[in-house]
Amino acid sequence: MRAAFYYGWYPETWTAGGAPVHGEPSIGRYASQLGTFQNHVLAMRYGRINVGIFSWWGPQSPYDARVPDMLRAAEGTPFHWCAYYEQEGFGNPDVPTLTADLDYLKRYFSHPNYLHIQGKPVVFSYGDASDGQTMCSRWAQAATGIYYSLKVFEGFRTVSPQPSSWHQYAPDQGYVEFLPWSVSVSPGFWFAPDAQPRLARDPVRFENDVARMVAARPTLEIVTTFNEWGEGTAVEPELSRGFAELDILRRYTR
């Protein structure tokens, strides 16, 4: 599988940290709605991306109401979506909170375009390094019957219990490898308030990273990101670059 982190929070986030984002989507500064999602599914599929990992902030988030249209936009295609549980990165939700949130997500699990692996619905979780061992324990208790991927931390390989899979979210690094689970690539990182990028866009470097990712044959290839414009990591078509990054992704597939 090849997946991309995806954000359905526009037009609310065309600024970040009080500054306008760098770059201009080819389709203009859009609102996250059905037509936009349909356009994005087509674009991701062009880049051989077959999974969108959508940022999910809980039942009370205004962005949750947009998830049904994301799923609807993929109907009739082989494209799938799954949730990225963001709250783990901004606190340490206890088992009852995790259980309640995962129970809420079950309303999406039955959709034919929600991703399942080994017959289980898939949920990714963001996370910090403050409580790696207890995070693994909390998720093992709450995520019964779910295929869940946790964000790596120091010492993650030796903790018990282990999650279904591991991934990294490090958009300021061009290439991050955690085999056999996943490899992540980023086209660049330019946070909106910053005067200079932390990871400059370089099509030669990005192409080499994508080729290296495919050759590594991880279970999951991850693109960081499809459309996080606030951090300047989008591979979504842009006015000055066009389909440059998606063309590279399209050329390198297993």
Sequential DSSP letters for the chain: -EEEEE---TTTTSEETTEEPSS-BTT-S--SSHHHHHHHHHHHHHTT--EEEEEE--TTSGGGGGHHHHHHHHTTSS-EEEEEE-GGGGS---HHHHHHHHHHHHHHHTSTTB-EETTEEEEEE---STTHHHHHHHHHHH-TT-EEEEEP-TTGGG-SS--SEEE---TTSSEEEETTTEEEE-S-B--TT-SS-SB---HHHHHHHHHHHHHH--SEEEES-SS-GGGT---S-BTTTBTHHHHHHHHS--
170-200 pLDDT, tens digit each: 999 999 999 999 999 999 999 999 999 999 9
Superfamily of domain 2-251: Glycosidases (3.20.20.80)
237-246 pLDDT, tens digit each: 999 999 999 9
Span 221-248, mean pLDDT? 98
Q: Quick one: pLDDT at residue 3?
A: 98
Domain assignments of the chain as residue spans, ordered by start = 2-251
- Would the pTM of this model clear 0.95, i.e. be above it? yes
